[in-house]
Amino acid sequence: MPRPVVRVPCSVWRATGTTEGERAIPEETAIAFTFNTASYAVMMATPQDLEDFAVGFALTEGVISSLDAIDSIETVEEDAGIELRLWLKAKDATEFLGRRRKLAGPTGCGLCGVESLMEAMRPPPKVGKGLVLTQNQIMSAVESLFPRQDLNRETRAVHAAGFWDPERGLVALREDVGRHNALDKLAGALARDGATAEQGLVVLTSRVSIEMVQKSAATGAPIVAAVSAPTALAVRMAEACGMTLIAIARKDGFEVFTHPHRVKGTLESDVA
């Protein structure tokens, strides 16, 4: 399998002059998803945690409703990339083939190739009650992500998605060149561990767009916190599915955009 990080030569310019150097950069590989031999999607992604990616993508895209639908997964390296072959159980395969669509996505693109406006705007499932967290707990969750971002520390070029539990801290973290891919890998890791994101917080290093809300809701996450801002459509979608959306989470604080009742001490009248 390709290594997730490669080192390449480069010329380094600084105010003191130019030198020859070397830079660690993330690999970007074409990852093809097939379900019972039917082609479904091609995503550009970091070739790491691929079984998590396979499971998480199938779940967050609605191909399957639970891990039980998957009979087996094969990872096949080819000249042009890597094929993730998912074999669904008979009943689930029949349902999938009845509503199959094709998707082609560049890095982190979760909407390219959808066949209708309704597919792009599909409402996510309603999230559960979840927990009430303090501002300090939310800041702890955000701050816990960065020390664990091994790929980003080496390359400064990948996103991360993590799940934080108030009793256990940062339970899982996945990285990828694509923000959607990192979240899919996290969803797969949780599912394969028999867990959901219902009793904690999903933390993202990226902006929050509609598909990040859709995919987070598919993991059961009632609270999502991101270091960057959300889009207007993401805010509307989070409001509709009952999700507490926290963004622009930095060292000096954060902003709550929807359902602030899960953040202890937040005044609902202060939130747009």
pLDDT at 111: 52
Can you give the pTM of this predicted structure?
Answer: 0.92
Average pLDDT (164-192) is: 97
DSSP letters along 107-123, please?
Answer: TT-SSTT-SSHHHHTPP
> In this structure, which long-range contacts are made by residues 263-272, counting pairs with CB atoms below 8 Å and at least 24 apart in sequence?
263/132, 263/133, 263/134, 263/135, 263/138, 264/132, 264/133, 264/134, 264/135, 265/134, 265/135, 266/135
Q: Which run of H or of E encompasses 97?
A: helix 90-98
Coil, strand or helix at 205: coil
55-64: per-residue pLDDT in tens? 999 999 999 9
Q: How confident is the model at residue 271 (pLDDT cuts 50, 70, 90)?
A: very low
Residue from 211, 230, 231, 205 nearest 113 by CA: 211
Query: 120 pLDDT band (50/70/90 cuts)?
Result: low
Per-residue pLDDT tens over the stretch 27-74: 999 999 999 999 999 999 999 999 999 999 999 999 999 999 999 999
Helix (H) or strand (E) holding 239: helix 232-241
Q: Which residues belong to the active site? A: 109
Q: Name all domains of the chain by residue range, CATH numbers in brackets.
A: 29-120 (3.10.20.10), 133-270 (3.40.140.10)
* pLDDT of the residue at 268: 52
In angstroms, the CA 132 to CA 115 distance is 39
Average pLDDT in the 3-19 region? 97
With beta carbons less than 8 A apart as the criterion, state whether 38 and 97 touch.
yes
